[in-house]
Amino acid sequence: MNNKYFSILGDSISTLEGYSEPAGAEFYDTANKIASGVLVARDTWWGRVIDHFGSKLSVNNSFSGSTVCRISQYEIESYSCSKERTSSLSRNGIIPDVIMIYMGTNDWGRGIDISREGCAEGEKEYLFLTAYETMLERIKAKYPDAEIWCLTLAVSKCRTVHDFSFPYSYSGRHITEYCDAIRHCAEKYGCRLIDLYNNCEPYDTIDGFHPNADGMKTIAEGVIGEIAKD
């Protein structure tokens, strides 16, 4: 896998000041970089994965607070099933060889519906499973030769908060509902499943969700471990 180009489609967990596109949409800005110890690309989960495989970053399209689903009150098309984000994973004519997708945490946090019986075409971008399908369809149409890795949501911890308990159910939805939808979509569209929920140790955070440097290392090890199974 040496010398391949990787792109990332993600939310705040995958951002980094100076690397996220569009600029200014990152969680890991100057203050949070210092608080987390995530200072440079090699401190991030994606940077560690790319370094491990001797590869290069193409585009990090990670937008803090973004969801897979379309959110009606947002004017900016930050949701990852949008045409804008699914078509912005290459630069200078270089098509990514691998696209890593780590999305869904904010959909879970908002309690977005997974699916709905007989949903209309116009509803698909507003439901998690069909929005994830739309995202993959658009990426595969734009980058037909890229290998797509779909990451399920990982469990977190927070060592600095002695009574922290991971909220498996959030906004009325259990995290496994979103992980199951991601598994379904990865299989349906022939993508590589990286099952962090089942095969990654809880990653450490600065606030319960955003990884510190140790947490980034844990996520990276989970991704690398899943690829090593082949």
Q: Are 205 and 165 in contact (CB under 8 A)?
A: no
Q: Who contacts 36 (Cβ-Cβ below 8 Å, separation ≥6)?
A: 28, 206, 210, 211, 212, 213
Query: Is the pLDDT confidence value at 158 over 80?
Result: yes
pLDDT of 214: 98
Is the whole model's pTM more than 0.95, yes or no? yes
Question: For residue 153, how many other CB atoms are within 10 A of its CB?
Answer: 20
pLDDT of 71: 87
Provide the CA 162 distance to its chain's centre, in angstroms: 27
Query: Is the pLDDT confidence value at 131 over 90?
Result: yes
pLDDT tens per residue across span 172-217: 999 999 999 999 999 999 999 999 999 999 999 999 999 999 999 9
Going by C-alpha positions, the residue among 109, 95, 32, 127 that lies closest to residue 66 is 109
pLDDT of 122: 85
Higher pLDDT pick, 29 / 77: 29
Per-residue DSSP letter, 208: S
Q: What stretches of the chain show up as alpha helix (H) in DSSP?
A: 30-36, 45-52, 83-86, 105-110, 128-142, 175-188, 196-199, 213-227
Cα 129 from Cα 125, distance rounded (Å): 9
Cis, peptide link before residue 22, omega less than 30° from 0: yes
pLDDT tens per residue across span 31-62: 999 999 999 999 999 999 999 999 999 999 99
Question: For residue 168, how many other CB atoms are within 10 A of its CB?
Answer: 11
pLDDT of 230: 78
Query: Is the pLDDT confidence value at 75 over 80?
Result: no
Higher pLDDT pick, 191 / 2: 191
The CA–CA distances, whole Å, from 85 to 52, 66, 72, 76, 197 equal 26, 11, 17, 11, 25
Query: Is the pLDDT confidence value at 145 over 60?
Result: yes
Cα 229 from Cα 212, distance rounded (Å): 26
pLDDT of 73: 63
